[in-house]
Amino acid sequence: MDNFFLKLSIMLVPGLMAITFHEVSHGFIAYLRGDNTARSLGRLTLNPLKHLDIIGTLMIIVIGIGWAKPVPVNFNNLRSPKRDMIWVSVAGPLTNLLLAILSAVLIRIIVPLTEPVPDSSSLQLFLEPVLLMLSFSVYVNLLLALFNIMPLPPLDGGRVLMGLLPDRLAVQLSRIEPYGMIIIIVLVFFTDVFKYTILPMLGVMVHLLAGPQSKMVFSVTQYLMR
């Protein structure tokens, strides 16, 4: 039980930040492009309680990927619905990518600073949990970004594809949306698509961002996911 709460204390803050910033970015870009729906419902806030989905948050803790309550967007209110749908949709994964980059940069800065510091010092005791949370932040934000760019509605990648396709093909793709989550669950839990597509890309991006500290990111993530 103590081990569970230790892992929870490491995962909760970066996990909530990842899904909260993801959803707020959708609503904020929609607001800039003419849709006031998210703002009028009080969803343009970084208060995670406004976006929390209990099951989605538990999934982050259990398998490292989850979701929040989607920020409502009325695409008909956008100035150019089809074009602006692309920008609204790509905002979420892009935000997660930026959070992963920021976390990786902080890791690269902090780790060399801690090397001459004694393990028992108060500074080391403070920085160790910070590094653990930053490591998980790199992982979870990259995973959310890669997962959400899958070209299948209702994921962000599916909506981007709908915005890029000719109208006739976009309408046909939109018909998949009611069944999209069922298809995604089947793909993730009952096939090797996740293993052979997203995980290899995740590994490459962790190495690219964290560099010499990528081993630490993978070690922390493996510990948390056990």
Which residues form the catalytic set?
23
d(CA 42, CA 72) in angstroms, rounded, equals 11
Q: Which string of b and e fits 149-171 if b means at least 16 CB within 10 Å?
A: bbebbbbbbbbbbbbeeeeeebe
Query: On the CB side of 150, how many CA atoms lie within 13 Å of its CA?
Result: 21
Q: How far is CA 47 from CA 17, 28, 34, 148, 204, in A?
A: 9, 14, 23, 22, 32
- H helical segments located in 121-213: 122-148, 156-164, 167-174, 177-190, 193, 199-210
CB neighbours of residue 41 within 10 Å: 12
Closest to 108 (Cα-Cα) out of 134, 128, 129, 126: 134
Q: For residue 116, give the 3-state DSSP assignment.
A: coil
d(CA 6, CA 71) in angstroms, rounded, equals 31
